[in-house]
Amino acid sequence: MAEPILQTTDLVKRFGGLVATDHVSLSLVPGELHAIIGPNGAGKTTLVAQLSGEMAPTAGRVRFDGQDITDLPMPRRARLGLVRSFQITSICPEFSALDNVAMAVQARLGHSFHFWRNARTDPALIMPARRVLEQVDLAARADVPAGLLSHGEQRQLEVAIALATEPKLLLLDEPMAGMGREESQRMVSFLQTLKRRYTILLIEHDMDAVFALADRISVLVYGKVIATGLPDEVRANPEVQHAYLGDEAEEAAAAEAANA
Amino acid sequence: MSEKPSAFLSRRGGATTLCFAVLALIPPLAGWLHEPFLIRQFIQIMAMGLAAMSLDLILGYGGLVSFGHAAFVGLAGYTVGILDFHAGDGSLFLGLIPGTTNALIAWPAAIAVSMLAAALIGLVCTQAGGTVFFMLTLAFAQMVYYGFSGWTLYGSDEGLSMGGRSELPLLDISDNTNFYYFCFAVLLLCFLAMRAIVGSRFGMVLRGVRQNERRLAAVGVPTRPYRLAAFVIAGGFAGVAGILLANYQTFVSPGDLSWTRSGELISMVVLGGLGSLIGPVLGAAAYLLLRLVIGSYTTHWAVVFGPFLILVVLFARAGLFGFVVRGREV
Ligand SMILES: Nc1ncnc2c1ncn2[C@@H]1O[C@H](COP(=O)(O)OP(=O)(O)OP(=O)(O)O)[C@@H](O)[C@H]1O
Ligand SMILES: [Mg+2]
């Protein structure tokens, strides 16, 4: 296996008495799509917050791309190529969709202490931003204020913003959250196109999506990773079935085992 | 606004051009009406309008509610006044620096003082956002205020009278009409500069700061250096306004940098339209003219102005300028 691009060692996050992240040691290989599943309140978003630098862990270390980033703030990590999207859409609502993406391009191009040239007509910002909007099928909505986009479109924009930074590792916190069936399907096929081009850590509730997309899956329950492995291994893991997948899956797995 | 950005923009441009055209015509109008007083009144409007415009840079675009902006206006004014004072009696400022009435020396010094003060104060204030930022700017501005009202050499509370306006080569600004057009040119240039700034990459970051700071941080923009830079730039333009104001009054006093003046500037920005640059000049005009008119009937003019401001905020959320062009710039 190649040198991991992201590695956490014994990451712990406590909120008072609550242990939201409980000695999590994860490791991501470049190019893989690693999914994290877990029930509500398992600590998935809290983990993303610590990886992206928004929250400091109580204990443990985070290494990314060959360096220890545990003490780096979020903007520094983003510039190193570790970029997240938010479970609860976080956009600049008055900016157009294009402006939102252009801001991410601008951030990638270095500091923004440029006071003179008009940013909205700067091809160095606009052209890459348009390309990303096209990728997520939002080109037609480029000039609409982001706050007026539909929920599904905002979710697409959320991913587009992260992509526009050309990250080395993409942390996607439930990109399908609140999306309709059809929109989710489109997002899944879009994520499929991103696979291999980016290393992705995908947090997701939708089991079908996860099993369709993931190279490997980690299961988080009460802040603890109870299993990591290939989708089939995870599916067959009795502890996972008991804790998360529920009786239905347990039965299905039993049936499968019986058939085999 | 979303459907027709170009029409919207041209409307903004048209309204802005109209504002400057009206300002350009004030002196002949004053001559025609035999009201030379109008020229002085509009010099004050332009100077205060510029101060409000500079506040709009951080307040309207950056969402940084500074309650100490008048301090930077007043500091520049005091710099001009104090240099004038020492030029008058040949003494040295702090026993070191000779005075001058030469605008080419005094004015850059004044702007430098405002920007330096903004850098120092901003360094502390921009650590925080929201209410804490607001309280800190107020606290620092009050320190500046008490500093000058206790400085007996420069007239304490009474203020400091200048020997006259600063001296510029080629242009005699002791003449009111000359000074009027000079202020007009300064206002126009500052407007063009600030408009370029808010449209630049820096300006986009500033607008982003107001809308969603977390989003900027998540794509790799550390917002604090930009907030600080905006604070210093706004302080510099406030300094330019302070220079005009001091020369208009040929007088500076602690009132020029008091918290009430900062509050007036906020009122002008809100009244004229947050995030529009030219709106605050309209706001300054409306504010000062209303005060003049209502003030001639009653001393409790704030009783009338307060509800008026609330009505504007309720019914024209983008202020007077927004009322004309519909919508705030983002
Ligand atoms: N800032 C905080 N302060 C205190 N408790 C918190 C904080 N953030 C999260 N928690 C708690 O930590 C636990 C994990 O929350 P988290 O949001 O990480 O779960 P999640 O797995 O993302 O859930 P979901 O599937 O609903 O998104 C929850 O019990 C939550 O209430
Ligand atoms: Mg979550």
Pull the structure tokens for residue A239: 């502890």
What would the mean pLDDT of B207-235 be, rounded to a whole number?
97
Q: What is the pLDDT of residues B226-283, one digit of tens each?
A: 999 999 999 999 999 999 999 999 999 999 999 999 999 999 999 999 999 999 999 9
For residue A113, give how far its alpha carbon lies from the nearest alpha carbon of chain B (Å). 5
With cut-offs at 50, 70 and 90, classify the pLDDT of residue B13.
confident
Residues from chain A contacting residue B220 (CB–CB below 8 Å)? 75-76, 78-79, 83, 107-108, 165
How would you label B81-116 residue by residue, b for 16+ Cβ within 10 Å and e otherwise? bbbbbbbeeeeeeeeeeebbbebeebbebbbebbbe
Ligand in closest contact with the CA of A205? 1
What does the pLDDT average to over B136-145?
94
State yes or no: pLDDT of A257 exceeds 70. Answer: no
Residue of A nearest to B327 (CA): A94
Substitution target in A96, A113, A115 with the highest count of B β-carbons within 10 Å is: A115
Ligand 1: nearest atom to the Cα of A46:
18
* Res B105 pLDDT > 60: yes
Residue closest to B261 by CA, chosen among B47, B2, B91? B47
Give the pLDDT score at A108: 96
Mean pLDDT of B127-155: 92
Residue A142 has pLDDT above 90, yes or no: yes
Confirm or reject: Cβ of A41 under 6 Å from ligand 1.
yes
Choice from A46, A201, A205 to test ligand 1 binding pocket (greatest atom count within 8 A of CB): A46
A149: its two tokens? 């986009």
> Which residue in chain A is spatially nearest to B328 when comparing CA positions?
A94
Nearest to B214 by CA among A132, A8, A175, A78: A78
pLDDT score at A248: 57
Determine whether the interchain pair A91/B215 forms a contact, defined as Cβ–Cβ distance below 8 Å.
yes
- pLDDT for residue A256: 63
pLDDT band at B300 (very low <50, low <70, confident <90, very high): confident
SS3 labels along chain B: CCCCHHHHHHHHHHHHHHHHHHHHCHHHHHHHCCCCHHHHHHHHHHHHHHHHHHHHHHHHHCCCCCCCHHHHHHHHHHHHHHHHHHHHHCCEECCCEECCCEHHHHHHHHHHHHHHHHHHHHHHHCCCCHHHHHHHHHHHHHHHHHHHHCCHHHCHHHCEECCCCCECCCCCCCCHHHHHHHHHHHHHHHHHHHHHHHHCHHHHHHHHHHHHHHHHHHHCCCHHHHHHHHHHHHHHHHHHHHHHHHHHHCEECHHHHCHHHHHHHHHHHHHHCCCCCHHHHHHHHHHHHHHHHHHCCCCCHHHHHHHHHHHHHHHCCCHHHHHHHCCCCC
Packing angle, helices B130-149 and B259-272, rounded to 10: 130
* The pLDDT value given to residue B289: 92
Radius of gyration of chain B (CA): 20
Measured at the CA of B97, the angle between CA B92 and CA B98, to 5 degrees, comes to: 60
Substitution candidate for ligand 1 out of A44, A51, A225 with most atoms within 8 A of CB? A44
**pLDDT tens-digit readout, A178-191:** 888 898 999 999 99
Q: Which of B141, B140, B88 is nearest to B257 (CA)?
A: B141
pLDDT in tens, B55-102: 999 999 999 999 999 999 999 999 999 999 999 888 889 888 999 999
- Span B307-321, mean pLDDT? 80
B272 touching chain A per CB within 8 A: no
Task: Determine the pLDDT at residue A240.
Answer: 82
Asked if A202 and A36 touch (Cβ cutoff 8 Å), the reply is yes
Question: Residue B2 pLDDT > 60, yes or no?
Answer: no
* Residue B11: Cβ within 10 Å count: 16
b (16+ CB within 10 A) / e for B282-303: bbbbbbbebeeebeeeeeebee
> Residue A245 and residue A239: Cα distance in Å, rounded?
9
Question: Is the CB of residue A52 less than 8 Å away from at least one CB of chain B?
Answer: yes
Residues 6+ apart with CB under 8 A from A108: A79, A164, A165, A166, B219, B220
- The pLDDT of residue B313 is above 90: no
Report the residue from A54, A114, A161 with minimal CB separation from B219: A161
Atom number of ligand 1 nearest to Cα A42: 21
Task: Report the residue of chain A nearest B195, measured CA to CA.
Answer: A116
Domain B5-325 falls under CATH 1.10.3470: yes
The residues in A 82-111 lying below 8 A from B, measured between CB atoms, are 83-84, 86, 90-96, 99-100, 102-104, 106-108
With a pLDDT cut of 70, the percent of chain B lying above it is 96
Name the percent of chain A lying above pLDDT 70.
Answer: 93
Residues of A in contact with B2 (CB under 8 A): 96, 143-145, 148
Does ligand 1 lie within 6 Å of residue A87's CB atom?
A: yes
Q: Which ligand 1 atom lies nearest to the CA of residue A223?
A: 14
Given CB atoms, is B212 within the 8 Å cutoff of chain A? yes
Which of B215, B228, B329 would best serve as a mutation to test chain A binding (most A beta carbons within 10 A)?
B215
Q: What are phi and psi of B167, to 5 degrees?
A: -105, 125
Q: Tell me which chain B residue has its CA closest to the CA of residue A76.
A: B220
Measure the CA–CA gap between B271 and B250, rounded to whole angstroms: 28
pLDDT band with cut points at 50, 70 and 90 for residue A207? confident
Q: Which residues pair with A229 in a beta bridge?
A: A217
Structure tokens that stand for B291 in this block: 């005060």
Report the first-to-last Cα separation within chain B, whole angstroms.
Answer: 11
Residue found under tokens 């332009």 = B46
Q: Does B99 touch chain A (CB under 8 A)?
A: no
- From the CB of A21, is ligand 1 less than 6 Å away? no
Distance between CA atoms of B258 and B152, rounded to whole angstroms?
17
Residues paired with residue A15 on neighbouring β-strands, in sequence order: A18
Q: What is the pLDDT of residue B1?
A: 37
Q: A173 C-alpha to center of ligand 2: Å? A: 7
pLDDT in tens, A76-111: 999 999 999 999 999 999 999 999 999 999 999 999
Compare B323 and A59 and report the one with higher pLDDT: A59
DSSP-assigned letter for residue A113: -
Tokens of A20: 């939201």
Nearest Cβ partner of A93 from B205, B211, B223? B211
| C-alpha to C-alpha distance for A169 and A85, rounded to whole angstroms | 11
Q: Is B219 on the interface with A (CB under 8 A)?
A: yes
Return residues 164-223 of A near B (CB < 8 Å): 164-165
Res B327 pLDDT > 80 = no
Q: Where are the domains of chain B?
A: 5-325
pLDDT over 80 at A199, yes or no? yes
Cβ–Cβ of A86/B218 closer than 8 Å? yes
Q: Evaluate whether B4 touches A142 at the Cβ level (below 8 Å).
A: no
Centre of ligand 1 to C-alpha A43, Å, is: 5
pLDDT at residue number B301? 77
Residue B306 has a pLDDT of: 80
B222 touches A at CB < 8 Å: yes
Cα distances from B145 to residues B70, B75, B243, B260, in angstroms, run 10, 9, 17, 11
Ligand 1 atom with least separation from CA of A177: 27
Q: Which residue type does A47 have?
A: L
Contact A11, A47 (CB under 8 A): yes
User: What kind and span of H or E run contains A150?
Assistant: none
